[in-house]
Amino acid sequence: MSRHDEPIVLGIETSCDETGVGIVRGHTLLANTVASSMDEHARFGGVVPEVASRAHLEAMTPTVEGALTAAGLRFSDIDAVAVTAGPGLAGALLVGVAAAKAYALGLGVPLYGVNHLAAHVAVDQLEHGPLPKPSVALLVSGGHSSLLLVPDVAQDVISLGSTVDDAAGEAFDKVARVLGLPFPGGPHIDRAAREGSGAAVAFPRGKYDDGTLDFSFSGLKTAVARWVEAREAAGETVPVADVAASFQEAVVDVLTRKALQACARYDVKDLLIGGGVAANSRLRAMAQERCDAAGVRLRVPRPGLCTDNGAMVAALGANLVAAGVRPSTLDIPADSSLPITVVNV
């Protein structure tokens, strides 16, 4: 039983390179503290798992304390601890899961091991209130691109489609590298694209008319690399802004098309977009246009809640507490390939 009208939940996220600690009261955000090890990975052009695990270990205690201070709370105020149990990098997940178990045991409160992707969906409630049931969710990040039917984020998440190769964010990162932009590439492509034309180069749109709700970005990524190589071989300068805009247009066109196809197919009137790529300005704009045309309501959390953070984990934890879902046992594993259909372990 909660000691408060609405439970105060501490959420811990360590699935990739962000050590995120969030605190919510029900669906009110009290703190969202993030320590990122991105700078340590940038020179490698991608996240190095061992480096991420060590950084989580070092950042965990100060980040938890930072979140409590930001919320003006003490450990004794916490009613439950939620943690990302998967999917993600095994060693990185392990640090968060071990810490969450220790906090839950030490504080004598229940532990909820949750799915990272479901948490990306749940976080929107902190900004836009309870999720309509059902909703369709498009999750686009560095590790995942999925379309989900979400009858109830606390207990029922159904996979409608996913990428068959690269994740959308991964494609942004790889194309950025080809264009000589820093890692992670998404925000840099977004910025460069504002100076270019999305219609400059007709890049291929994978699985556009195949009738499935799956994605493919590997062909597009290769097409961009070949196009750039051909310009360089001919001794011409590469029009970075136009290539960035045209690549981005192709990704965003496919993502929004399939998301609205999912809404139509399942007769759902609410679409949520989450994950790091949801911060993309062109994705937000095109999604809004196409949702308006289709009579679908669009929800996109603000960028700070789209990228990995602890508040999303706390938000889902609060849903689980409210739904009376049984807490996790203290021997739950970190599961790097936890399926999306498993909301909590």
- Pick out the residues of the known binding site: 116, 120, 139-143, 173, 186, 190, 280, 308
Rounded distance between C-alpha atoms, residue 330 and residue 109, angstroms: 11
Most distant CA atoms of the chain, gap in Å: 70
Residue ranges at the known binding site for substrate? 139-143, 173, 186, 190, 280
- Left if phi > 0, otherwise alpha if psi is -120 to 50, otherwise beta: which for 86? left
Residue 87, contacted partner among ligand KG4, Zn ion, none, CB below 5-8 A by kind = none
Binding mask 261-300 for Zn ion (x = CB under 5 A): ----------------------------------------
The listed partner (ligand KG4, Zn ion, none) that binds 198, CB under 5 to 8 Å by sort, is none
**Tokens 């911060």 found at:** 279
- In 97-179 the beta strands, taken as DSSP E runs, fall at 111-115, 135-140, 145-152, 156-162
3-state per-residue secondary structure call for 79-118: CEEEEEEECCCHHHHHHHHHHHHHHHHHHCCCEEEEEHHH
- Residue 127 one-letter amino acid: E
**Which listed option, ligand KG4, Zn ion, none, makes contact with residue 166 (CB within 5 to 8 Å by class)?**
none
| Measured CA distances, 271 to 90, 115, 152, 260, 300 (Å) | 31, 20, 14, 8, 9
Task: CB nearer to Zn ion: give 157 or 240.
Answer: 157
The residues that touch ligand KG4, with contacts defined as CB under 6 A, are 16, 141-143, 169, 172-173, 184-187, 190, 275-277, 279-280, 307-308
Which of Zn ion, ligand KG4, none has residue 22 at its interface (CB below 5 to 8 Å by kind)? none
Minimal distance in Å, beta carbon 160 to ligand KG4?
Answer: 19
Binding site partner of 185, from ligand KG4, Zn ion, none, Cβ cut-off 5-8 A by kind: ligand KG4
CB of 265 to ligand KG4, least distance (A): 26
> Judged by CB under 5 A, which of 14, 33, 141, 319 binds Zn ion?
141
Tokens in use for 194?
A: 């504002």
55-84 positions binding Zn ion, by CB under 5 A: none
Closest Cα partner for 123 from 22, 263, 7?
Answer: 22
Between 172 and 203, name the residue whose CB sits nearer to ligand KG4: 172
Query: Quick check: 308 binds Zn ion (CB under 5 A)?
Result: yes
Binding site for Zn ion (CB under 5 A): 141, 308
